[in-house]
Structures are given as structure tokens and as C-alpha cells.
Amino acid sequence: MPTAFAHYTIRDLGDSLRIAIPSRKRDLVVLIVSLGTVVGVLAECMIALAFLLLVTDQPGIEDVGGLGMLLIAFAVVGVAMFGAGISVLMWELDGEETIDVDSHGFVIQRQAYDIRRQKKYQAEFITNLRSAPVGYRDPMTPDFMKTESVFFGRYGLIAFDYGRRGPQYFGSGVDAFEANQIVVAIEQKFPQYAAKF
């Protein structure tokens, strides 16, 4: 069970376990992403103004040419980056990962404010529940997705194999020691999920 300083909670609900892992709320990440988002909004405004000036000086948008298309491309990339920035801010300020475990499977939910992503995993396909070793880096996950906050991505130090889909990760807000404690708690309550090597 969790220690007094654990970053997660485990509630035994009788026939299931509920594990809640809040985001780490890293101040430096919030500061950097906030500044980047403000700069991005200002850049988007300048791009929109430049495009507006370009369009009004020309008779039609089809006459704008390459510069107009470049401005549109910058605007699209800027909107995508703004969305990623807002996603990171939402996760860092109010994110929580909830894992419900019972004999039928896992339900992993990530929520920040009123936006949530939920994924259900059936018990018959879950094998090899484990905590990842310290320093583990999944070679199949791109580096920019190896954070718990980008679009509420599914990454963490706890994993299980799920049929043909391969490894599924959760527990991104815990360290390696806490991940191991969570795996032990799940295996004690539901031995069917214990890793079989």
C-alpha cells in the first residue's frame, strides 16, 4: 500500500481497486508552456494580420500565391502547437489518471477539467503486468509523446501486454518505486494479472 508520501492513492472497493494518480504539477513546465502559448497566440495574430493585408491588396485569394500558402501553413502549425500547449497546461494544472481494476479488466481514464479519455481493457487479453525498470525508454513511442501531458497521451512506468496490440502503459505520474508498489497491490488483489515468466 502507499506510503505516507506517495503520489497516488489506492482504494479497495471490495470487488475492485481504484488507483488515482494526479499530475505532478511541475511549476517549470507550467511557466514555460504558458509563455510559449502566449508567444504562439501573438504569432498567430501577426500571421492573421499579414494574411489579411496580403489578401486585401490582391483582387482574390487565388492570386495570393506562394506567400499566402506559406502563411496558411504557418497558421495551421501554430494552431496545432497552441492545442498541444493548452493540453499540457490543462494536464499539469488539473490532470488525474484513474485506473479501475477488477476481475473483468482495466479501465484507464485520464481527465483534466471536463475533458477525459477513457480506455477499457478486457481481462482475457491482459498479460504480463509489470513496472518498467528505472531509465526505461520505449523505443516504439516517439520522444515527444513520452510525457503524460501531451494530448493526455498514454505513457507511464506500468505496463501490460494486451493481445496483438502489444504493450499498454499507464502510471505516468508515479516514479519507479511507486509503480512497483501499484503493481504489487494489483497482483495481490487480482493474481490473474501477475506476470508469468
pLDDT reported for residue 108: 92
In this prediction, residue 60 has a pLDDT band, given cuts at 50, 70 and 90, of: low
In this prediction, residue 64 has a pLDDT band, given cuts at 50, 70 and 90, of: low
Give CA torsion, residues 35, 38, 40, 42, to 10 deg: -140
pLDDT reported for residue 34: 86
Give CA torsion, residues 155, 20, 103, 157, to 10 deg: 30
Q: How far apart are CA 15 and CA 101, in angstroms?
A: 9
pTM score over 0.85: no
pLDDT reported for residue 148: 47
pLDDT reported for residue 81: 82
Between 10 and 7, the more confident residue is 10
Per-residue pLDDT tens over the stretch 83-123:
888 888 888 888 889 999 999 999 999 888 888 888 999 99
* pLDDT > 80? residue 55: no
Q: How far apart are CA 146 and CA 78, in angstroms?
A: 21
* pLDDT > 50? residue 74: yes
Average pLDDT of span 69-80: 79
pLDDT reported for residue 104: 93
Per-residue pLDDT tens over the stretch 137-195:
554 444 444 454 454 555 778 888 888 888 888 888 888 888 889 999 999 999 888 87
pLDDT reported for residue 140: 46
pLDDT reported for residue 122: 94
